[in-house]
């Protein structure tokens, strides 16, 4: 091991590189002695021996920035006196020169050939519907209007998960009334269904097949069932998924910029007192939302990056986190596309971003203090980034209108229950570390038949078992070292089966730890905002009411009251783990059957 300051191992950054953008990856550290360690960049294998002081300076750097910006951050974090700053700057330049930091041009150069393979065919549009024929009729009328206006005709596939025969009949009648729109009705209640076909072909996997594709039992919410059907039915193809309560009239986000942003930032939320206020803030756009998705979906990242640079307004790299280094790879491609929304989001849970909003939302609240009163009193909002965004390996939801590149086997999600979209996103992220998402710069109306009741601080909040599956997919991704997606999926499935086999004491401790992390993250975020002088008093009053809620106490008894039942958690982890293990075989059977 060469010493940290030998000239042969510590080339400094070239003068021209000092103005370049550098990313600090997630570095690995192993101690060597009391005040010495070895640090490794896992993305390129570079290792260097550092002193404790050097490691402290390097650890203070994070994310993306010029060498001068990384130096300033390190100086601030360490509280270094002015006489030490030149040495810190020289050290960080040497880290860049030897490969412990990675320049943005070097990252982009890792993308594969733009002409490596043609795009998979676009199967069409999957409409997810269940017992809402009036919504399907409205959406088909809009589809016909869009088709007439643009001349773009798409094949629609209605995946009908209705529980009532009269709803299925009304859906078929609505489709027949708009027969100029090419469409196919997939009745998920039929005995001769995809579920039955797979059980006949692979009887040894019947239990797993029923779990991912079976009909609702009792009052189950089978949101994920249709997603699983779509991924199997269109194995090897690209597909667009839309909900039946979405409109097709695209609208501009409240804040808009030309060009493309590369960022890990969450989308902002803008709350409005009335739906009319939301419409006024988001004026109509003249575009075909389906064509906008198809343009990006499945592109190799080399082509997507080049296309982004050609956009009016160009490409801006705003921020990246250390774990995104793995997204710059030869096989990187746009795995997902997603539209934004305006209207009633229809969310009946409490997401962290509701109380700890994105930085852009905070700036908007600071500039519009009256809007803070709408945060939990009105269901009407717009969620959007200000520009088209290239986002490394972060999807988060498959609601509204999304595109899926299913050419290389996307995973299943839970058939029944909530949070199926976030689980799908996290597992896809683990299976495809080099997957990207394109978040398109327009919003589509979300047209609920009646507003959903907003949560109040006194409403009890319980964490469902799916949250543990989200967290486990995210935290275990780095430990899954297999290269083939099918192998990564099977290994992740085995981890879930092992989780289900844990004893009651171990599983309870795991769930309480998860609840503590969730509660402490929100409490910390609330305190951070209360200390922010730019935020309006109305928003801070809202935060204080939530902070005082019994939902956010950190004592063991309160945390235990937040966790999911052990039996329910264990059953979901075991069944989902087994489904992941079986999925590659089922997906391949469907690819051979339908292509």
The residue count for the chain: 595
Picking from 338, 337, 340, 334, the residue whose alpha carbon sits closest to that of residue 358 is 340
Say yes or no: 217 and 127 in one domain.
yes
Find out whether 159 and 188 touch, Cβ atoms under 8 Å: yes
Query: Does pLDDT of 221 surpass 90?
Result: no
Residue 280 CB-density burial (10 A; 0-12 exposed, 13-18 middle, 19+ buried): exposed
387-408: average pLDDT? 84
Scanning 346-409, the segments in alpha helix (DSSP H) are: 352-355, 359-367
CA distance from start to end of the chain: 54
Domain co-membership, 238 together with 142: yes
Looking at residue 412, its pLDDT comes to 97
| Residues of the chain above pLDDT 70, percent | 94
The tokens for 408 are 């290389």
Helix (H, G, I), strand (E, B) or coil at 47: strand
Six-digit token pair at 571?
A: 């059953």
The mean per-residue pLDDT over the stretch 478-507 comes to 92
Residues 117-136 have pLDDT tens digits of 789 999 999 999 999 999 99
Q: In degrees rounded to 5, what are phi and psi of residue 260?
A: -125, 135
Q: Is it the case that residue 1 has pLDDT exceeding 80?
A: no
Residues 204 and 238 in one domain: yes
Domain that holds residue 230: 122-243
Cα–Cα distance for residue pair 325/569, rounded to 1 Å: 33
Rounded distance, CA 495 to CA 48, Å? 33
pLDDT of residue 509: 95
> Which residue, of 243, 278, 294, is where some domain finishes?
243
Residues 6 or more apart in contact with residue 152 via CB below 8 angstroms:
146, 288, 290, 291
- State whether 161 and 68 are in the same domain: no
List, in sequence order, every beta strand (DSSP E) within 167-323.
183-187, 238-243, 260-262, 268-272, 315-317
For residue 5, the model assigns a pLDDT of 34
How is residue 63 written in tokens? 């994310």
Is 188 contained in some domain?
yes
- Sorted by sequence, the CB contacts under 8 Å of residue 86 that are 6+ apart come out as none
User: Mean pLDDT of all residues in the chain?
Assistant: 90
Which spans in 411-464 are helix H? 420-431
* Model confidence pLDDT, tens digit, residues 400-431: 899 999 998 999 999 998 889 989 999 999 99
Same domain flag for 126 and 234: yes
Residues 239 and 129 occupy one common structural domain: yes
Residue 573 lies in a domain: no
Domain with residue 52: its CATH number is 3.90.930
Q: What is the pLDDT of residue 373?
A: 78
Last residue of a domain, one of 189, 208, 243: 243
Domain assignment of residue 209, yes or no:
yes
Is residue 208 one of the residues assigned to a domain? yes
Which tokens is 481 given? 């070292």
296 DSSP 8-state letter: H
pLDDT tens per residue, range 421-463: 989 999 999 999 999 999 999 999 988 777 677 778 888 888 8
Specify whether 96 is located in the same domain as 153.
no
Of 39, 43, 32, nearest in space to 61 by CA: 39
Report the pLDDT value the prediction gives residue 190, as an integer from 0 to 100: 87
20 plus 97 within the same structural domain: yes
Residues 6 or more apart whose Cβ sits within 8 Å of residue 329: 110, 111, 112, 433, 434
Using CA atoms, how far apart are residues 486 and 580, in angstroms rounded to an integer?
9
Is the pLDDT assigned to residue 3 strictly greater than 60?
no
- In-domain check, residue 548: no
Report strand pairing: 238-243 vs 401-405.
antiparallel
Residues 135 and 166 in one domain: yes
Mean pLDDT of 144-171: 96
Is 150 found in the same domain as 87?
Answer: no
- Separation of alpha carbons 406 and 220, rounded Å: 27
Tokens of 483: 């290269």
Q: Does residue 98 lie within any of the structural domains? A: yes
User: Is the pLDDT score of 343 beyond 60?
Assistant: yes
- Average pLDDT, integer, range 382-403: 82
Among 67, 29, 68, 65, CA closest to 50: 29
Please write the tens of the pLDDT for every residue from 525-576.
999 999 999 999 999 999 999 999 999 999 999 999 999 999 999 999 999 9
Start-end of H helices in 184-268 = 194-201, 206-213, 223-233
| Residue 319 forms part of a structural domain | no
Cα distance between residue 342 and residue 361, in whole Å: 15
The pLDDT tens digits for 56-115 are 999 999 999 999 999 999 999 999 998 899 999 999 999 999 999 999 999 999 998 766
Residue 364 has φ and ψ, to the nearest 5°, of -65, -40
Residues forming a β-bridge with 184: 157
Question: Which string of b and e fits 513-540 if b means at least 16 CB within 10 Å?
Answer: ebbeebbeebbebbeebeeeeebbebbb
For residues 126 and 161, state if they share a domain.
Answer: yes
Confidence of residue 476 (pLDDT cuts 50, 70, 90): confident
Q: By the 8 A CB rule, do 63 and 322 touch?
A: yes
Q: Say yes or no to pLDDT of 304 above 70.
A: yes
CA 290, CA 502: separation in Å to the nearest integer?
Answer: 45
Domain boundary among 193, 209, 243: 243
Residue among 383, 336, 130 at smallest CA distance from 244: 130
| DSSP code at position 111 | S
What are the structure tokens assigned to 278, written together? 């939301």
What is the model's pLDDT at position 6? 33
What's the rounded mean pLDDT across residues 329-356? Answer: 83
Q: Between 591 and 268, where is the model more confident? A: 591
Residue 71 and residue 172 in one domain: no
The verdict on residue 136 lying in a domain is yes
* Number of domains the chain is built from: 2
Residue 52 tokens, joined: 């404790």
Structure tokens at 585: 């075989």
Instruction: Give CA separation, 385 vs 14, 284, 285, 286, 570, in Å.
Output: 36, 16, 16, 19, 37
Task: Assign 2 a pLDDT band (cuts: 50, 70, 90).
Answer: very low
Q: Look up residue 129 and give its two tokens.
A: 């519907």
């Amino acid at each position: 091991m060469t010493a940290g300051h030998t000239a042969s191992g510590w080339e400094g950054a070239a003068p021209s590189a000092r103005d370049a953008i550098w990313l600090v990856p997630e570095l690995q550290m192993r101690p060597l002695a009391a005040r010495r360690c070895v640090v490794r960049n896992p993305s390129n294998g570079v290792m260097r021996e550092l002193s404790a002081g050097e490691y402290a300076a390097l650890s203070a750097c994070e994310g993306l920035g010029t060498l001068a910006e990384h130096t300033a951050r390190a100086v601030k974090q360490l509280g270094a006196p002015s006489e030490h700053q030149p040495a810190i700057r020289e050290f960080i330049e040497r880290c860049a020169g030897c490969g412990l930091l990675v320049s943005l041009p070097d990252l982009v150069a890792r993308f594969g050939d733009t002409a490596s393979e043609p795009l998979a065919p676009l199967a069409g549009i999957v409409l997810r519907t269940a017992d809402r024929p009036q919504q399907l009729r409205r959406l088909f009328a809009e589809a016909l209007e869009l088709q007439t206006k643009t001349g773009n005709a798409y094949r629609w596939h209605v995946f009908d998960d209705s529980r009532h025969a009269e709803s299925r009949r009304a859906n078929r009648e609505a489709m027949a009334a708009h027969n100029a729109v090419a469409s196919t009705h997939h009745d998920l209640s039929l005995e001769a269904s995809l579920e039955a076909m797979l059980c006949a072909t692979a009887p040894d996997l019947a239990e797993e097949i029923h779990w991912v594709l079976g009909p609702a039992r009792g009052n189950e919410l089978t949101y994920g069932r249709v997603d699983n059907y779509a991924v199997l039915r269109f194995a090897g193809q690209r597909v667009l998924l839309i909900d039946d309560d979405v409109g097709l009239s695209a609208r501009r986000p409240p804040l808009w910029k030309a060009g493309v942003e590369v960022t890990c930032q969450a989308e902002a939320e803008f709350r409005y007192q009335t739906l009319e206020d939301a419409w006024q803030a988001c004026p109509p756009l003249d575009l075909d939302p389906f064509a906008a998705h198809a343009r990006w979906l499945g592109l190799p990242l080399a082509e997507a990056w080049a296309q982004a640079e050609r956009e009016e307004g160009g490409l801006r790299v705003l921020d990246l986190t250390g774990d995104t280094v793995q997204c710059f790879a030869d096989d990187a491609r746009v795995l997902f596309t997603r539209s934004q929304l305006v209207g009633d989001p229809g969310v009946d849970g409490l997401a962290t971003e509701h109380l700890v909003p994105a930085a852009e939302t905070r700036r908007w609240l600071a500039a519009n203090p009256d809007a803070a009163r709408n945060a939990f009193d009105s269901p009407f909002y717009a969620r959007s980034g200000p520009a088209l965004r290239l986002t490394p390996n972060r999807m988060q939801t498959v609601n509204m209108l999304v595109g899926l590149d299913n050419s290389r086997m996307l995973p299943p999600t839970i058939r029944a229950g909530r949070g199926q979209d976030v689980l799908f996103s996290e597992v896809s992220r683990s299976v495809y570390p080099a997957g990207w998402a394109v978040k398109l710069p327009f919003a589509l109306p979300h047209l609920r038949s009646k507003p959903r009741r907003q949560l109040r601080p006194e409403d009890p909040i319980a964490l469902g078992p799916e949250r543990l599956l989200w967290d486990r997919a995210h935290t275990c991704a780095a430990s899954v070292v297999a290269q083939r997606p099918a192998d990564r999926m099977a290994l992740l499935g085995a981890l879930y089966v092992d989780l289900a086999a844990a004893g009651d004491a171990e599983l309870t401790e795991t769930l309480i730890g998860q609840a503590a992390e969730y509660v402490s993250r929100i409490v910390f975020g609330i305190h951070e905002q209360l200390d922010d002088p730019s935020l309006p008093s109305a928003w801070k009053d809202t935060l204080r009411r939530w902070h005082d809620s019994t939902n956010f106490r950190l004592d063991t008894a309160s945390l235990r009251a937040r966790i999911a039942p052990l039996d329910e958690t264990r059953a979901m982890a075991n069944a989902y783990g087994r489904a992941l293990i079986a999925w590659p075989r089922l997906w391949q059977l469907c690819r051979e059957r339908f292509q």
